[in-house]
Amino acid sequence: MPSGTPEGMSIERRMRRSGDPNEALDLLLEAVMERSDVSSIAVVDARGFVVMGRGSKQELAILGAIAAPVAAGVVTTTCERLTEGTDVMARKVKGPEGHLYLAALGTRVGRMHDAARGVERILAA
């Protein structure tokens, strides 16, 4: 174990994994929220349906509505109005039946790139 790593860290990480894709996705979103400054995070499909999310129902609905355009770099006036007072981050991820979006509301997402790869890995299983 590398020096400076708290004892039990790798054990706790293994305990928070799951072979069930739904549970694994939920655990991943929980972990991203814990290491980030976000109030909500979700995996959203191309229709705007929240596949899995954490946060208030209102914020998850907002993420459903804006994830795809934000991931494409389009910030509409509706998006600006819905996200006033916070930031939105979104990234396109590969799903088993097309693209999905990992999106969050807040000021910082820790390792968004790694989180997106994790979503892709879970969905490919």
Burial 40-64 (b: 16+ CB within 10 A, else e): bbbbbbeeeebbbbbbeeebbbbbb
- Domains of the chain and any CATH numbers: 9-124 (3.30.450)
pLDDT at 7: 47
Per residue in 24-73, pLDDT (tens digit) is 999 999 999 999 999 999 999 999 999 999 999 999 999 999 999 999 99
pLDDT tens column, 69-103: 999 999 999 999 999 999 999 999 999 989 999 99
Q: What is the pTM of this model?
A: 0.84
